Amino acid sequence: MGSKKPLKIFTGTATTYLTSKICNSVGVDLGKSSCPVFADGEFEPCYEETIRGSHVFIVQSTFPPSDNLMELLLMIDAAKRASAYKIIAVLPYFGFARQDRKDKPRVSIGAKLVADLLSAAGVDRVITMDLHADQIQGFFNVPVDHLYASSLFIPFIKKMGLRDVVIASPDVGGTKRANTYAKMLGTDMVICHKSRAKANVIGDMTLIGDVRDKDVIIVDDLIDTAGTITTAAGLMIKEGANSVRAFAAHGLLSEPAYERIENSALQEVYFTDSIPPKRESSKIKYISVAGAFGEAIMRVYKNESISSLYFK
């Protein structure tokens, strides 16, 4: 049974473009809110309509992370103080997710801290997509609905008409994801093994598996500076691949990502629109996740199962 309490969908400033499409997909008007910024850079989000007793869904990707995360926390706090019935944070992209463990001494676990901050602010539920590591769901003490871009990418890949596809993971950590794609597409998988000297700097890379005369699809959760993905593409072409394309849920595309992609062996790179494009590129294309998030929002609001949306 659905809820009789009002449904309200609001957007943070980082995700207006996507929230508007989500609202259109479910036939709900975008909620009225504002976020004045003081001279010192401090901001004060404000709801400009009543939300008392409402299911409030706040859509905000936390990229770049600092200001957008803080704005989201303030919006959650404001909704709680305005007597919202339920507060659901919708994070198409969850920032700090790469900090999911202590991989060296004296570092923080940023993903756990962000989960704690969202809970402390008053969130009742989180909806997100393609976390960097699935176990981040366990960092929360509220329910987390974890969607996967594969539910959009796999049908798209099937329609591309490629002759002899092989799925590739750009690193050992993405093997599970690549294996899921390979199983769903009924094809083989290869793995790139890399050594990383420091953050965003790739050392040596070796290929495990055969890509000769294959149309390679590299799958990943995100592409930041594109060092890994372009190095992998070059290696696969060197090993005899017919073509190389990449699919990733989140396109962070920090510099020099655009230049690397344009000058690489990659034929095309596909992202969802979890993060707004910074500029155009002849090789970069986007597939919208507005429908998937809209469906998840409506099922949560109506107390319906969303397990069918967990397609990996």
pLDDT at residue 198 greater than cutoff 70: no
Helix axes 110-121, 65-81, angle to 10 degrees: 20
**pLDDT for the residue 1:** 52
pLDDT at residue 74 greater than cutoff 80: yes
* 83 vs 172, higher pLDDT: 83
pLDDT at residue 159 greater than cutoff 80: yes
* 125 vs 206, higher pLDDT: 125
**pLDDT for the residue 278:** 87
Biggest alpha carbon–alpha carbon distance for the chain: 61
**pLDDT for the residue 99:** 86
pLDDT at residue 56 greater than cutoff 90: yes
Angle of CA points 86, 137, 171, to nearest 5°: 145
Q: Which pTM was predicted?
A: 0.93
Task: Point out the catalytic residue in the list 80, 86, 194, 214.
Answer: 194
In angstroms, the first-to-last Cα distance of the chain is: 27
pLDDT at residue 156 greater than cutoff 60: yes
pLDDT at residue 268 greater than cutoff 80: yes
**pLDDT for the residue 194:** 73
**pLDDT for the residue 193:** 86
pLDDT, one tens digit per residue, over 78-123 is 999 999 999 999 999 999 988 888 888 999 999 999 999 999 999 9
On whether the 7-147+290-309 domain is CATH 3.40.50.2020, my answer is yes
pLDDT at residue 168 greater than cutoff 80: yes
**pLDDT for the residue 3:** 62
High-pLDDT (> 70) share of the chain, %: 95
Helix axes 290-301, 16-26, angle to 10 degrees: 60
CATH number assigned to the domain covering 150-281: 3.40.50.2020
Arithmetic mean of pLDDT, 142-164:
96
Query: Taking the domains of the chain in order of start, what are their residue ranges?
Result: 7-147+290-309, 150-281
Q: Average pLDDT over the chain, rounded to whole?
A: 93
**pLDDT for the residue 83:** 98
Q: Do domains 7-147+290-309 and 150-281 have the same CATH topology?
A: yes
pLDDT, one tens digit per residue, over 211-235 is 999 999 999 999 999 999 999 999 9
Residue listed under structure tokens 């290929």: 207
How many other C-beta atoms lie within 10 A of the C-beta of residue 158?
Answer: 13
pLDDT bucket at 311, cuts 50 / 70 / 90: low
Strand ordering across the sheet containing 188-198 = 201-208, 188-198, 165-169, 215-223, 243-251, 268-272, 284-287
High-pLDDT (> 90) share of the chain, %: 85
**pLDDT for the residue 100:** 85
Is 194 considered catalytic here? yes
pLDDT, one tens digit per residue, over 275-308 is 999 889 999 999 999 999 999 999 999 999 988 7
pLDDT at residue 200 greater than cutoff 60: no
pLDDT at residue 2 greater than cutoff 80: no
pLDDT at residue 199 greater than cutoff 90: no
**Euclidean distance between CA atoms 210 and 304, whole angstroms:** 44
